[in-house]
Each structure stands twice: as structure tokens, then as C-alpha cells.
Structure 1
Amino acid sequence: FVLGIHPNALAYSMTTLGAGMMNSIFNFYYVKLFLNRYKISEVAFHQAQVIFMIWNAINDPLFGYIQDNSKFACCSRRQFSILYGAPLYALAFLLPWFPWKHYEEGDWLSGLHLIVALCAFDGLLTFVLLAQCALFAEISTRHESRLQLIKYNQVATLIGSTSILFCGLISDNMENFAHFQAFTVLVAALATACMCYTGKYSISQYEQREVCTENTHLENSDGALSWSSVISLTKQIMTDKNFLFFVTMNFFQVFHLAFCNNFMMIFADNLIPNDVFSSSIRSIMYGAGFICPQVGSYTFLFQNMKTYCSDFIMKVYIRTMNTLNIFFSRVIVQASFSLFNLPLADIVDADLIKHKRRSPLSSMVFGTNALFTKPAQSLAPMLVVTILNQFGYENLNN
């Protein structure tokens, strides 16, 4: 401890800081970028989202199995996965912001660009953050230690979410595209440095474990990965009643969060007149929509149900107040979602005890959860874009 700072918790939270800066900008801007600036067609947008949905679902359990069972240190060691994956993750983040050419309306290349950007970004995000999620479960099994990690995590998320605020102010909410591109390059560099810090300085309580010792009777004698091992281990995870309940709830959380992230800016631009809010005020509102949830989830750590009740009441009584409705919907959804790691880490512990494992299947548990919840990230924008275009958004945009 130095000045009351826990070095391991600090190192762990640095990946949250770096990923938070990139993920906030990516999720907030990519839909509007491709719809409004690159003029992607609705068909191409849906095709890209379907391909992304398939890849998004399968890469989590795939990477989870590899990280839990691989012989290579860059995969089996959580810290090395973060350290080596961070630069590639940052490069993938930059893909959508630099067009491959000047796109005409409905250009097929903009559809291909979206597919590559989504799949590359999600693939590297999964590889890095799955290792971090596993590290959360493996740093300590003590509930108090995990609460400490969450507190550090929330501070890191709070700082990382300010990237939306500064990005909006610097780029005039993406109107000055050159400034926007320069800011994303700066964010990518800072995020890489933050995540590399985790890779260098975080420590797990399973630091000395041997790789690939889990369920050796399910693996080939040469230790090679096999589909029978994947199926057997996944079946054990999926038969847990608590895991199934959590997955069901988490699917709707992910759907709701993707809806708020992807369309907050589009709704605000069309529902709030320009003479009501200037561009700088809008930037502050967008930034606050990402910053305030972190304050809320840090302060009210065990009050999830209250946030949903508040959300319901707010929507009933301020339906006509577009600004407050958009803002508070975003804040409340994100605040409740911030506690995602805690119950899933408890499920990892229960699985470890139930099946008498020598080391936890942390990545596989988080990856199997993502197998069923990640498709919501594609279903939300597909459904909303379809509804918007049915009511003339595509013509309004043109």
C-alpha cells in the first residue's frame, strides 16, 4: 500500500480505464457515423449486424476455453493476454473512424467496413476484457477484496467515461471530423498504456498454477484442445440454476444498454431543437450520461431494484420532458449494469467448489454468459433502425 492505494486493485482497474475510454466512444458514435456520414443502406447495416451477432456470440466461449486451457502463456496468463492484446485492441478501435474511400450513399464498401470494424473491435475487446474478468475472479475469493476491486473499477470507469465529454467538446459532436479522428488516436494511445500497466503489475492468487490441468480426463493425452472438452465443460456451467437465472436477466440488461448507448445521440439530435441546447451543452449532456452512472453505482452499490423502480417512475411522470427522459434513462441503465462482475464471480467460485476443480474456469463462465447475452448488442440496433426507418428517419437523414 502506498498512500492508502492498493497496488493490485489499481493495476486491475487500469484496464477498465483504458477500455472505458475506447468503448464509450465506439458504442456512442459508430451507429450515427455509418448511418449519417457513411450513408450505409439499411440492408447492409442489418447484414453487418447479423454477421457481428454470430461472431459476437461465438468468440466469447471460444476465447474463454482457449484462455483457460491453452499451453501458450500469452493466452493462459491473464496478464499476458491483456499486455499483448492491448495494442491490437487499440488499433481495432481506430478502424471505423478512417473511411476506406469517399462513400457514396448505399456504397457496398461501407457495409464491408462496418463488418470488419465491428468484428475486429469485438474480437480484441473480448480477448482482453475476458482475461480481465477472469482476473477479477482470481485475484481473491474474499468478498471484501472483490468489493474493493469494484470500487477501484468504478473510479476508473468514471474517469474513462469522460472521453465522451471531451470528444464532444473537441470535435463539436463529430461535426469537426478531423478533430474527432485526432482525438480517437490520442485515446487509443492512452488506453494502450493503461492496459499494459495491468499486464505488467497485476497479480493473481493462481499465479503459480500449471496450465491445462483442469479436467485432464476430458482432454487428449497430448493436452490438445478438443470439442468434447468444450462441450463437457460448457454443459457443466450451463446446468447451474443460478447461472441460468443470471444469463436471462443479463440478456435484457445488455439489450437495454446497447439501445441507450447507440441511439442517445440520434434521439437527442432529433427530439431536442438546436435553439434549446447549443453543441457544447449537448456535449456536456452526453458526457454526463456516461459519467453520472458511475457515481450512482459507486454510491448505491446494493440498490439495483431501486434504480429500476426510479426508471419506471421517471418515464411515467416526465414522458413529455425529452431531455430529462433521455438523460435519466441512460444514467439508470448504466448504473445498474455496473455491478455485472460481482454475481458472476460468485458463480465462478460456486462452480470451482461444486466440481472440485484445481483452478477456476473464470474465462469460460464469463464467455458462456456472453454466448447468450452478446447477441442483444446486435438485436437492439437492428430493431431500432428498422423502426426508425419505418417512420421516415432514413429520408429525414437524407
Structure 2
Amino acid sequence: MGMRSWSCWQGVLSTAVLYGSLALFVSIIHNVFLLYYVETFVSVYKIDKVSFWVGETVFLIWNSLNDPLFGWLSDRSFLSSPQVGPQITSPEVVLKRLQALSRYGPLFALSFLALWVAWARPGLQFLLCLCLYDGFLTVVDLNHSALLADLAVSASDRTRLNFHCSLFSALGSLSVFLSYCFWDKEDFYSFRLFCMALAAISTLGFAVVSRLLRHRFQNVARLRQDEALILKELSVGHAPLTQQQNPVTIGKYLRQLSKHRNFLWFVSMNLVQVFHCHFNSNFFPLFLEHLLSDRISASAGSVLLGISYIAPHLNNMYFLTLCQRYGVYQVIRWLFMLKLGLSVAMLLAGADHIYLLCIFVASNRVFTEGTCKLLNLVISDLVDEDFVLNQRQQAASALLFGMVALVTKPGQTFAPLIGTWLLCVYTGFDIFDREPVKHSMAVVPADGAASVTAPLRLGCFYMLVFVPITCALLQLTAWSRFTLHGRKLQGIKSQRQGVQHGHLFDVKAI
């Protein structure tokens, strides 16, 4: 009965649905982490400023280095040894990614729990929890993202896979709605139980879905091995079709990547994007508290918070249809221009238009996160270009995703550091000691009641609008130099499909 039920699930769930559902088990945890980890250590565990900055600095280094490290460990078998005889096929590559997800997915969920119980001094716990959590998140995210490039090459198939990721990520964002009901800085018990429930769901989900996918691709791998044996028997006495190539060392790979101009322009743009996304996540509660809390109800704030996390994923489904019609490059360019236009309009309107401010606070996060959701498609195209330019026998998908993260992940650490510094400069408000700083750009009013509130509110407003304006201008400049789109992109995809024709497979057929 159990085997029959298992086979039934195998038939009902497509590969794209199973692949997308993995995003659900990441997003239900990671959204809560991004929203509450800074507030938890600052307001609940009372971490001091020095420990916070030291922890973020060490995290910056670890966060940047672990992506290429894990990417190299994942893909070195494709690059570091000469390929003689039969090549590694796509199903075998996919099985390797799925094995990593089945092993490290549950560990990622368990590392999430270590954040919400005080088990060491705040500074030490902050450092260890961030590094442990990000280490497992990196392994999971690298292998899941690399599957996008390994499962399909055509733009339509990758868009289909990304569509399901967006759908399940939207469902995962419901955890933000629920978290607002349990979050209480004074009584942390209910929030801890909520986080335990999220971790349990994520652990079970990774175990089940990765097993389903592995079972599916093991069948495909067996078929490919049988085909290879038949071809070997038919070609007895003939010279091998593959030629021995020199091993690719990490030094050689870095030299190749340094000449990849589209990669360099992309990571320049993406560094700013990562900074802006995490800036919005880290300071969203602050903007709600000081810009809108006295003007809107608590339930309206909860709805605004939930919408800002769910809408990017739902909106991304529409963006993906635009990508199929106009191309990913053009859609991302439009989103940068839209971010710039909305920010300038909000600056001109001022902080007193509450309904307009609510719309802008939500839309700023929606369009910024929406852009992030499309970038994996661009990185997958860069995998194709790297494969063609350097004449690789197997695309090093996880390694390229890791190299992108090496350059762009520092934006995740810069966001809270620069944000808290800007807040102190513009308002004189230090979130660590709660007292105004003497040397700041804030203009302090004469009346006592508004002496802190007025400059704090105005400073938050300036942070809210000037950060996206600056980010949009920098991104439009870098994105205008990116050339992997249009006919050039189609040529790259045609070349990769031609080289790997015997090793690729149709996602819809599995």
C-alpha cells in the first residue's frame, strides 16, 4: 500500500512542481529570519554595539567566501579532472544536487532554531548563529539555484521552473503574516514555538521532496547508462569521441571569469540589488513604526507587512510572462526605471501623504524583491555563456552561482551596517542605546514632545526615498553595459544545446 501511494505521488507531481516546492521550505524560514534576527538580538538579547559590528564583520567575510567554496566543492569533479571516455550526464549532475539538498536541507531548518533561544552570550551567539545558518543556507541555495541551469537550457523551460518557484515562495511568505501574530519582544515563548513549527515543516518537506526527485532521476540515469553501454558496444574498435583536456584549477577558472565581461557587469549591478533587498527587509519594521504606526492601525500594519512579502512572488508570475515576450534584460531595466520614478515622486510628495506613503513602502519592496526573483534566470544564462566561451564539457552551475554570491553577498552585511549609520547621521537616533547622538544632521525642534520624534520621522523618510534613488541610478548604469540579451543570448543557447544535445532532457517529459 505504501509503495502504491508513493508511485501515485510520483505520477501526479511534475518535476517543475517538485522543484518549485523546494523554494517553499526555504522561504517559510528565511523570510522570518530576515525580518526578525536584527530586532531579536538588539531588543530581546540586548547585544552591545561592538559585538553587533564585530559579528556582522565576521559574517561579511564568511558570507562572501562560503559560496565559492561550496560551489567549488560541488563542481570540482566537472573541472578538476580530465574527462576521458564517457562524459558526466545531466541526470547524474542533477542526482548529485538532490543528494546535497536531502542532506543539508533538514540541517538548514535545524540551524534556524538556534537563533531564538538564548544559549550563550549575545555577541558570541550572534556570531555563531549567523555563520551556522548562512553556511547551511548557502549549500541549499547553491544546489537549488544550480538545478535551474542543469534541468533546462531553453528560456521557456527555465521560465516555467522559475514560475513554480515564485508560486511556492508566495505560499512560503504566509509565514510572515502569521509571525506578526506571535511576535512579542516582551513574551518570546509563543514566537519560539512558532519557529519550531516552521522548522519541522521545512525539515519534513526537504526529506520528502528530495526523495521524490531523486527516485525520478535515478530512473533517467539508469536509462542513460544503458544507452551508453549500447553505444559503446556498437563503437568497438573506434577511437573515443572525447578528447583529453587539461584540468581546470581554481586559479585558471578565476582568470577565465575575470575576462567574462557580462559576469563582471552583472555582479556590479547585483551587489547593489542585494544591498537594497536586505535594507528593505532589515528596516521595514522601523519604517512602519516611525512613519506609519501613529497613522494606521496595527491590523493595517500587519496586512501591509504581509503584502510586501507575498506580492513580490505573485507579481513575479506576471513578470515572467513579460520575460517570455520581451526578454529578461528588458523587464529588469523597466523595473529599475520604475523604482527610480516612484522614489522621485515620493520625495516630491513628502512624508505627510499617508496613503501614498503606504503604497510606496509596499511597492518599493515589491518591485525590488521582484527584480531579485528574476536574477537567477540571468545567472543561468551566464552559466550558458561560460560553458560556450570556455568550451567546458559540463556546465559548472553551482560554482558560477557561488562566484556571483562571492561578490554580491557583502551587500547583505552592508545593509544593516550602513542603515544603522545613516539612521544615526540623519536623525541622531542610535538603536543600541536609544539616545540622540549630539553630532548629527537632524534638526531638533524646540518643543520637548517632538524633539526626538520629528527628526526621527523625517530621517526615516529620507532613508526610505534616497536609498532606492541611489541604487536605481547605479544599477541602470551597470545594466546598460550588459550585452547578454537578444540575438547574442539566442546564439549562446543554440551553441550549448548543440554541444550537449545528447545529454540534455526535457523537463516536461520527466
Segment drifting more, 263-272 vs 119-128: 263-272
Q: Which residue of 1 aligns with 2:399?
A: 364
1:281-323 alpha-carbon deviations (Å, 9 max, x no partner) = 3222111110111122211233333333332232233341443
Q: Residue in 2 aligned with 1:191? A: 202
For 1:155-304, list aligned pairs within 5 A: 155-169=167-181, 171-172=182-183, 176-202=187-213, 217-218=246-247, 229-274=249-294, 276-301=295-320, 302=323, 303-304=331-332
**Per the alignment, do residues 75 and 136 of structure 1 end up closer, same or farther by CA in structure 2, a change over 3 Å counting?**
closer
- Residue 193 and residue 174 in structure 1: after superposition, are their counterparts in 2 closer, same or farther (change >3 A)? farther
Q: Is the Cα contact below 8 Å between 1:214 and 1:357 reproduced in 2? A: no
- Which residue of 402, 423, 430 corresponds with 1:393? 430
% identical equivalent positions:
29
Greater mean alpha carbon deviation, residues 317-326 or residues 379-388: 317-326
Distance 1:111 1:397, change over 3 A: farther
Whether the 8 Å CA contact 2:94–2:150 is kept in 1: the answer is: no
The answer to whether 1:46 aligns with 2:53 is yes
Deviates more, 1:252-261 or 1:1-10: 1-10
TM-score in terms of structure 1 length: 0.87
For residues 44 and 338 of structure 1, do their structure 2 counterparts lie closer, same or farther at Cα, with a shift above 3 Å needed? same
Match of 1:131 in 2: 143
Distance 2:267 2:70 in 1: 18
> Please, what is the CA RMSD of the aligned residues?
2.9
From 130, 152, 160, give the equivalent of 2:164: 152
The code of the aligned residue for 1:188 comes to A
State the AA in 1 paired with 2:162: I
Alignment check: 8 A CA contact 1:25 1:164 kept = yes
Partners of 2:74 and 2:29 in 1: CA distance: 23
Distance in 2 of aligned mates of 1:215 and 1:272? 65
The aligned counterpart of 1:93 is 112
- Do the aligned partners of 1:135 and 1:204 also contact (CA within 8 Å) in 2? no
Aligned length: 377
Residue of structure 2 equivalent to 1:11: 18
Q: Which amino acid aligns with 2:36?
A: Y
Ranges in structure 2 where 5+ consecutive residues have no aligned partner: 1-7, 79-91, 226-241, 324-330, 437-510
CA–CA separation in structure 1 for the residues paired with 2:378 and 2:62: 25
Residue 355 of structure 1 deviates from its aligned partner by: 2.2
Contact 1:136 1:146 in 2 (8 A): yes
Q: Cα distance, 1:263 vs. partner?
A: 1.0
Q: Deviations over 1:124-143 (max 9, x none)?
A: 00011101111111011122
Unaligned runs of 5+ in 1: 102-108, 220-228
Letter in 1 for 2:246: H
Structure 1 residues 70 and 279, CA gap change in structure 2 (3 angstroms)? farther
Change (3 A) 1:291 1:218: same
Match of 1:106 in 2: none
Using the TM superposition, give the Cα deviation of residue 278 of structure 1 relative to its aligned residue in structure 2, in angstroms.
Answer: 3.4
Offset, 1:75:
11
Q: Distance in 2 between matches of 1:397 and 1:198?
A: 50
- Asked if 2 retains the 8 angstrom alpha-carbon contact of 1:69 and 1:214, the reply is no
- Does the CA contact (< 8 Å) of 2:173 and 2:306 recur in 1? yes
Task: Kindly name which structure, 1 or 2, has the bigger radius of gyration based on alpha carbons.
Answer: 2
Per mean C-alpha deviation after superposition, the further-off stretch among 314-323 and 279-288 is 314-323
Contact 1:11 1:197 (C-alpha < 8 Å) held by counterparts: no
